[in-house]
Amino acid sequence: MTSSSQQSTAASKDICLSIQNTTISYGSYEAVKNVYCDIPRGKVTAFIGPSGCGKSTVLRALNRMNDLIEGCSLKGSVLFDGADLYGPSVDPVEVRRRIGMVFQQPNPFPKSIYENIAFGARINGYSGNMDELVERSLRQAAVWDECKDKLNESGYSLSGGQQQRLCIARTIAIQPEVILMDEPCSALDPISTLKIEETMHELKKSFTIVIVTHNMQQALRVSDMTAFFNAEAVEGGSGKVGYLVEFNETEMIFNSPSQQATQDYVSGRFG
Amino acid sequence: MAISPTASLRRDIPDLSYKQGLRRNLLNKILTFLVGLFSLIAVLPLVAVLAYVLIKGGSVLNLTLFTAASTGLEGGGIGNAVIGTIIVTFLSALIAIPVGVGGGIFLAEYSGGGVFANFIRFGTNVMAGVPSIIAGVFVYAVIVKTKIIFGNSYSAIAGGVALSILMLPTVIKTTDEGLKLVPDDLRRAALGVGASKFVTILRITLPSAFTPIATGVVLSIARAAGETAPLIFTALFSPFWPEGFDAFFNPIATLSVLIYNFATLPYESQNELAWAASFVLVLFILLINLFARWLRRFAST
Amino acid sequence: MEKSVDGGFRILAFLLASVVAMVLLAILIVVFWGSVDSMGRYGWSFLVTSNWNPVKDEYGAFTAIYGTLLTSLLALLIAVPLGVGTAIFITENIIPLKIRTLIGLMVELLAAIPSVVLGLWAIFVMEPFIRPFLEVLHKILGWLPFFSTDPMGPGIAPAVLILVVMILPIITAISRDSLNQVPMKLRQAAYGVGTTRWGAILNVMLPAAISGIVGGVMLALGRAMGETMAVTMIIGNSNTFSWSLLAPGNTISAMLANQFGEADGSQVSSLMYAAFILMILTLVVNLLAQWLVKRLSLKY
């Protein structure tokens, strides 16, 4: 009921992350239920849906960021190149080094711009030329021009949009395989948003990207694949539980979705 | 140089397993163990102190202790010190609460955050840092030595004044901060229907900040009840029961000074009284603390 | 009518607020005025001589000043790692929340135990318990001046330990609050780039919380220097200077508690002088605390 038939077509592709019958709960309250989703390598996959549908929760499950939330637990499995991220012997630190994350609020470290980039790289055992890495990462995140003259100033001396691109650069610098982005533009103005979207087009050449967005236009602009999540009231329960309605190529989701709910949502007839 | 992970297309299953021997993992284990150990050490004193006070104090405690005065002789008790602590603490609250709440009201409601208010807030912080013994020295010099209170030197009033100096900063601070938590809409609503500022504060602002202020005041009373240093040469001590109105103007026994005096004497019967007094004092203070905590939680739900 | 009530109340509140300033000023003046006599007689030498002889009427407060600084700094040295470590332990999700809350509550309740009760406990429980350990220390390290005397009971070392017990709750509570106030987004940022728990704590959480923690530590230092009862009861009240931590010593506040009640003449003035020094010390520490908090605040 929650999984769609499209995932069989995805199986033939090169799968990077595979979410298999995953249910995530906060304490005894289920936030999102029975999600199946195969995220292809080297593409941009967007998670869309109304607020409270669990799309951010699922995203955070992809690099075990939910571990930081007290009482959050996961059933099912998430495979990354065939390795179960939730296996008993898995070190979440190893996971996060391969699957980086950009957050909703720009969150540079209260350190210099240079150190913001170098810190992650250094703890990940990077031993090459640090100056070069810093410059390359900032260039890739399209924020080098704004930063090059003030590398020793605090990351917080930048504007919000620049801070977010600094955070993207920081993530690039740890050389992950996947970059997760949790509504990266929701706190930014339109011009900064545009810049970040342009950056993403560049990044997808090197990384698999999964982005959560509440902005359908953005999903349409940047993503190759789109997953639509929705939430429904639980019988007898107080809250809502999220589930995956439909997962397909972005074009299909927006032009000829197979589910009525998706149709309603993408055409804006939805709360 | 930029190696793109997708280009290399590695399909072998990545090794995500936790590696025991890795330096960072080892370091994490050691540090986690260390802070766990530190926490254990940190709670140890409370457990040890409580255990001894409850066991040693509890074993000597009986009803006659409360009906006898602290003569220091065989058959002496702590009854007068219990009354004395109540009297002195009550006196200090009588001074510190009106002054502190009034001062707090000025800071939060009238000052508008001006230079004077900042100066007073700064002064409050400084005053909170003044060692309690200094308050004793000060009151000794101003009240005891000068016999300013109708020719009486050491007295319950002097002790109460000394304690109130310690309570004052806490009361001002909690009032100031409690009032600041009251939403401005509430004030505007009251002023909007034509209430004067005085009525607004008395009827609207102060009542809605009641719980945080009450919590802070209750805690400061608990602290004052356990203070000793400001009392040793203000309220002094007395082996007699406080009697009537005279009690305020004469030296008075308190539990804390009793503990101090009797702990340092070489007689076992007096040491036992010190333990008994500790039992009563600690129980009283812990109950007040738990009550204040409950009050806070009660208010937040 | 209502107008005048309003105005009157405003003035009353203003006057009550001014009480703080007036009392503070009065304390400074009274203590200073009381010490003028002794200041004139001994001047700066009061700070560096350690003969305290009421019989001969000669006073020097070096032992007490040294004792005040030494005991509080040593106590800080022990209490800071313990307190900050405990704060880290109860703000990280290492063990279940309920146990962590309980630990936090217990440390807070420790702060509520009156100093005089801790003193009583120190005399009858703690000091006899630690004496064998101090004796071992003396046997092994007796060649060092700091452990050169045989522990006889009350002394500087037990006073330091009881001070640790007294300031531990302050450091723990303030460090915990400071760590809790570090925004979640910074913690996420650290974990997001693949740090371990301690990588995040040492590189991100502690630096972000450092201003609050330092403020708490300075506050604790001020409290330790002014702490009276427990120290008075266990330090031995000796004005004879000794390098040894195992020997009895004195602090300014202990000296005041012990002698002020029975003092007269120039002894009162000398005690006032010592009290004035104590005030200045705590004042400087408190001001330094407020300045450091501002100085060390990270923007995030």
The gap from C-alpha B39 to its chain's centroid, in whole angstroms, comes to 23
Higher-confidence residue of A126 and B167: namely B167
- Which range in B9-23, B53-67, C165-179 is most confidently predicted, on average pLDDT? C165-179
Q: Characterize the bridge pairing of strands A178-182 and A99-102.
A: parallel
Residue C261, SS3 per DSSP: helix
**Domain hosting residue A74, numbered range:** 7-266
Q: Do A205 and B4 touch (CB under 8 A)?
A: yes
CATH code of the domain containing A28:
3.40.50.300
pLDDT given at position A237: 64
pLDDT given at position A248: 93
The mean pLDDT of chain A is 88
**Domain limits, chain B:** 81-271
- Nearest-CA residue of chain C relative to B107? C17
pLDDT given at position C222: 94
**Domain count along chain A:** 1
Beta bridge partners of A15: A40
Residue B200, Cβ density class (10 Å: 0-12 exposed, 13-18 middle, ≥19 buried)? buried
Q: Is B236 left (phi over 0), alpha (psi -120 to 50) or beta?
A: left
**What is the least distance, in Å, from the CA of B30 to any CA of chain A?**
17
Is the separation of the CB atoms in C23 and B127 below 8 Å?
yes
Q: Do A109 and C204 touch (CB under 8 A)?
A: yes
Beta bridge partners of A46: A211, A226
- Nearest-CA residue of chain A relative to C185? A107
Give me the sheet containing A29-40, strands edge to edge: A83-84, A72-80, A15-26, A29-40, A240-249, A225-233, A44-48, A208-212, A178-182, A99-102
pLDDT at B9 over 70: no
In whole angstroms, give the CA distance from residue A171 to residue B5.
14
Class of the CATH-defined domain B81-271: mainly alpha
pLDDT given at position C252: 96
Q: Return the axis-axis angle of helices A160-173 and A113-123, rounded to nearest 10°.
A: 20
Residue among C186, C194, C300 minimizing CB distance to A124: C194
Amino acid identity of residue B119, one-letter, is F
pLDDT given at position A271: 47
DSSP letters along C173-185, please? HHHHHHHHHS-HH
pLDDT given at position C158: 96
Is the separation of the CB atoms in A76 and A22 below 8 Å?
yes
The pLDDT of B45-72, averaged and rounded, is 87
Which one of B49, B237, B262 makes the best mutation probe of the C interface by having the most chain C beta carbons within 10 Å? B49
Q: Do B25 and C196 touch (CB under 8 A)?
A: yes
Sequence-distant (≥ 6) Cβ neighbours of residue C120 within 8 angstroms: B259, B263, B274, B275, B278, C233
- Nearest-CA residue of chain C relative to A179? C192
State the pLDDT confidence band at A6, using cuts at 50, 70 and 90.
very low
> B-chain residues within 8 Å CB-CB of A42?
6
pLDDT given at position A71: 87
In whole angstroms, give the CA distance from residue A165 to residue A211.
15
Q: Which domains does chain C have, with CATH numbers?
A: 2-296 (1.10.3720.10)
The pLDDT of A220-228, averaged and rounded, is 94
**What is the least distance, in Å, from the CA of B27 to any CA of chain C?**
8
Residue among B7, B9, B16 minimizing CB distance to A94: B16
Residue B266, Cβ density class (10 Å: 0-12 exposed, 13-18 middle, ≥19 buried)? exposed
In whole angstroms, give the CA distance from residue B139 to residue B134.
9
Tokens of A132: 């070069």
Q: Do B1 and A136 touch (CB under 8 A)?
A: yes
Q: Which residues of chain C have pLDDT under 70?
A: 1-2, 299-300
Q: For residue A188, is it within any domain?
A: yes
**What is the least distance, in Å, from the CA of A94 to any CA of chain B?**
5
The mean pLDDT of chain B is 88
Q: Do A107 and C186 touch (CB under 8 A)?
A: yes
DSSP classification of residue A247? E
Half-sphere exposure of C191 (CA within 13 A, CB side): 18
The pLDDT of A92-120, averaged and rounded, is 93
C-alpha distances (whole Å) from C157 to each of A68, C79, C130, C138, C154 are 42, 14, 10, 12, 8
Closest CA to B48 of C136, C113, C131, C167: C113
> A-chain residues within 8 Å CB-CB of C208?
110
Chains A, C: CB contacts under 8 A, how many?
Answer: 69
- Nearest-CA residue of chain B relative to C171? B42
pLDDT given at position C210: 92
CB of A69 within 8 Å of any CB in chain C? Answer: no
A85 phi and psi angles, rounded to 5 deg: -65, -20
CB of B88 within 8 Å of any CB in chain C? Answer: no
pLDDT given at position C50: 87
pLDDT given at position B249: 86
Sign (positive/negative) of CA torsion B49, B52, B54, B58? Answer: negative
pLDDT at A188 over 90: no
Q: Do C193 and A167 touch (CB under 8 A)?
A: no
Is the separation of the CB atoms in C22 and B138 below 8 Å?
no
pLDDT given at position A10: 42
Q: How many CB atoms lie within 10 A of CB A29?
A: 13
C-alpha distances (whole Å) from A5 to each of A11, A50, A254 are 11, 22, 17
Q: For residue A48, is it within any domain?
A: yes
pLDDT given at position A2: 42
Q: For residue A165, is it within any domain?
A: yes
Chains B, C: CB contacts under 8 A, how many?
Answer: 260
Amino acid identity of residue B132, one-letter, is S
> B-chain residues within 8 Å CB-CB of C95?
36
pLDDT given at position B5: 47
Place of tokens 């350990």: C133
Q: Quick check: pTM over 0.80?
A: yes
Q: For residue A2, is it within any domain?
A: no
Predicted confidence (pLDDT) per residue in B180-225, tens digit:
988 888 888 888 888 888 888 888 899 989 888 999 999 999 999 9
Interface of C with A in 39-68 (CB under 8 A): none
In whole angstroms, give the CA distance from residue B180 to residue C229.
36
Residue among B1, B4, B19 minimizing CB distance to A206: B4
Predicted confidence (pLDDT) per residue in B227-264, tens digit:
999 999 898 888 888 887 777 888 899 999 999 999 98
**What is the least distance, in Å, from the CA of A117 to any CA of chain B?**
16
> A-chain residues within 8 Å CB-CB of C191?
65, 68, 96
In whole angstroms, give the CA distance from residue A269 to residue C100.
48
Q: For residue A271, is it within any domain?
A: no
> A-chain residues within 8 Å CB-CB of B18?
89-91, 94
Residue A42, SS3 per DSSP: coil
pLDDT given at position A270: 59
State the pLDDT confidence band at A238, using cuts at 50, 70 and 90.
low
DSSP letters along C9-64, please? HHHHHHHHHHHHHHHHHHHHHHHHHHHHHHHHHHTTHHHH---EETTTTEE--HHH
